[in-house]
Amino acid sequence: MPLDPRDAIWNETHALLYNTRYAEEIEKALLARWTWLDSISKIAVAISSGGGALAGLVFWKNSDYTFLWPLFTSASTLLAIVSKQLSVADKLKRHATSAVGMSALAVNISSLIVRMKINTDFSTAEFEKKLLGSLDKYGIEYTKLPYDLLLTHALRVKTQQRLNAMLDATPR
């Protein structure tokens, strides 16, 4: 028995919404990781440079801790260099932009689904065109997603589990 075109549009729209939300959640998770790294590096650099003289004196007065200050300043300097070389600020901007783009697309796809729920006898030609337009937008947004060394298998699995739980809790 052939599949009703409305069912095909319905199924493909839901699949696209899932993929869009997954990409959005991945971008948000990566943005959170890069923001954390950026914050830690800025705090470490600020502590080691701004309070350097005072903290250095405190460490030097107590001979038990003299080894800590060179280790801390070296680590914060290394963190600052790594942060600069990894282009953290650029990654923050790109992930934020991608998350917003995927979020806007998810809202549009959700609106399309609502329209299909309200008008179950929707025009297949009109909604096919809208679905294909959304697929094109998804493809464009997806190609903008940068490769990221912080995107691990564990993050992918955790994000997918969180998304599935979120969707299971959503009334239909």
Domains of the chain, by residue range, sit at: 9-159
With cut-offs at 50, 70 and 90, classify the pLDDT of residue 43: confident
Q: What band does 155 get if pLDDT is binned at 50, 70 and 90?
A: very high
Distance CA 165, CA 80 (A): 38
d(CA 103, CA 82): 30
Q: How confident is the model at residue 11 (pLDDT cuts 50, 70, 90)?
A: very high
Taking 60 as the threshold, does the pLDDT of residue 115 lie above it? Answer: yes
Band the pLDDT of 66: cuts 50, 70, 90. Answer: low
| pLDDT score of 84 more than 80 | no
Cα-Cα-Cα-Cα dihedral sign, residues 8, 10, 13, 19: negative
Q: What pLDDT was estimated at residue 51?
A: 55
Establish how many alpha carbons lie within 13 A of residue 32's alpha carbon, considering only the half-sphere containing its beta carbon.
Answer: 8
Rg (CA), the chain: 24
Region 127-148: what's the mean pLDDT? 94
pLDDT of 41? 78
Quote the CA–CA distance of 114 and 120 in Å, as a whole number: 10
- Token pair, residue 83, equals 């942060």
10 Å CB burial of residue 59 (0-12, 13-18, 19+) is middle
Cα–Cα nearest to 150, from 42, 43, 36: 36
The whole-number pLDDT of residue 45 equals 73
